[in-house]
Homo-oligomer: A and B are copies of this chain.
Amino acid sequence: MNKINKHVNIAIVGLGQIGNYLYNELKLKSKEIKKKTGKKIKIVAISAKNKNKKRKFSIDKKIFYSDPLKIFKKEKVDILFEIIGLSDGISKKIVETALKNKINVITPNKALIAKHGDYLSKIAEKNNVSLEFEAAVAGGIPILRTIKDGLATNNIKKVYGILNGTTNYILTEMENTNQTFEKVLKKAQKLGYAEPGNPILDLNGFDAFAKVRILSALAFNNQISKHKCIMEGIENIDLKDIKIASQLNLRIKLLGISEIINNCLFETVHPSLVNKSSYIGNVNGVMNAVITQGKPVGESVLQGEGAGAGPTSSSLLSDLLSILRDNINKPFGIPFNKRKKLKLFNSNYYTNSLYLRFEVKDKSGVLSLITNRLAKYKISIKRIIQTPDKINKKATIVIITHKTTEINAKRCLSIFKVNKNFLKFPTLIRLYN
């Protein structure tokens, strides 16, 4: 392993909210870092698109590079922070180049790691440098380190949780204020909890899914899976479903789940109905929580703030200290060639109780049509709640089913065409466990 010198040169590429905060933290905490590690850090290069953009913490323009790739030619860098955040392009190029130049890399970039983590970890291992990405999953919660170190040697069968603060904030706020998705989304954007431009990657589950892929790789020692699985976001969650759920003592949470079922890997992100009195049902607002089930440790829970410059910076600094203490780990805990390729669980056989909401014409025969069709697919009913809307001669029928497979549910629902009796395609939300 390449040991780190007493004097450590640092470069930061990307000076948005997180990069700028980190820059300031490194300045403020260099003395404490020296005390904890014996190493003296120095920021020798910073880079961003816009040199003169207004930033919360002022930067040293003498070490500013417009082209981050030029840093490698001018400066001796020991550790590079990549905080641009693209899954490809300049983010990938910078990390790749740094690792090949035997520079340790720290990044909170989940999109990059979920897509190219295996490739990049091979380069890091070949060059005996670290590639650390604690901040990529669940912000300030040190979940990756916990799985790699704290729970090492446990046989983990399942990791799941609330991995996206934006969507959790929106769902919590819709329930608490009775406001629609659109209204709450605008509020979240104003408060900085959702991207002002394009929040789609948070809302559609993509962000949480990238985190699920990284968690699986660490928990199960497998190569990052590339396959498409069930990925649903919260864009179609209606205030109506939140209200009905609440009456049933349930709450909607966007869960990311990674699990070994019959020795196969199953990864998914979808809205889930959880019990209001359950632990996960009470992780509200921008909080994240990750639950691991392992042997012999049992169930462990980690909860904390999942986003924001402060928590993210906390994780970036924990990566920095790990490198400064010469704790050079393989990026995914074990060498690349020891990581398995797990078979994939066929998501058609993913099994859940379902919440189904039908918006129908309020006339006789419609309910029996629904129950007949469910019976045809052997989907048995646990509970029916029918709420008539007399004035408009409509009705809302909510059915909670016993457990059934994805494929069965899909086939069954596909026969409900929108027509004069069925005013909308039925809404489906899975119950968790």
Contact = CB atoms under 8 A, between A and B. Distances in A.
Contacts of A89: none
B153 A314 contact: yes
A149 B145 contact: yes
Interface string A226-253: 0000000000000000000000000000
A180 interface: no
A153 B33 contact: yes
B334 A152 contact: no
Contacts of A33: 153
A32 B153 contact: yes
B152 A321 contact: yes
B153 A142 contact: no
A297 B314 CA distance: 6
B142 A150 contact: yes
A413 B18 CA distance: 53
A178 interface: no
A297 B140 contact: yes
Contacts of A320: 153
A338 B303 CA distance: 31
B299 A301 contact: no
Contacts of A29: 153
A153 B297 CA distance: 28
B301 A302 contact: yes
Given A294-B314, A300-B302, A302-B300, A146 B150 contact: yes
A303 B304 contact: no
Interface in A126-170: 134, 140-142, 145-146, 149-154
A325 B145 CA distance: 14
B25 A334 contact: no
A148 B251 CA distance: 36
Contact of A297 (B32, B289, B300, B311): B311
A9 interface: no
B301 A305 contact: no
Interface string A194-238: 000000000000000000000000000000000000000000000
Contacts of A298: 140, 304-305, 308, 310-311
A388 to B, nearest CB: 34
Given A141-B300, A304-B300, A333-B36, A153 B309 contact: no
A296 interface: yes
Interface in A311-370: 311, 313-315, 317-318, 320-322, 325-327, 329, 333-334, 338
Contact of A25 (B282, B296, B308): B296
B153 A149 contact: no
A296 B318 contact: no
B150 A134 contact: yes
A7 interface: no
Contact of A317 (B153, B305, B317, B325): B153
A153 B134 CA distance: 15
A421 B116 CA distance: 77
16 contacts: A25-B296, A134-B150, A140-B298, A142-B146, A145-B145, A145-B146, A145-B149, A149-B149, A152-B318, A153-B314, A153-B318, A282-B282, A295-B310, A299-B304, A325-B329, A327-B327
Q: Which 10 A-B pairs have the closest CB atoms?
A: A142-B150, A296-B310, A300-B304, A297-B314, A301-B303, A140-B297, A298-B305, A153-B317, A327-B327, A152-B321
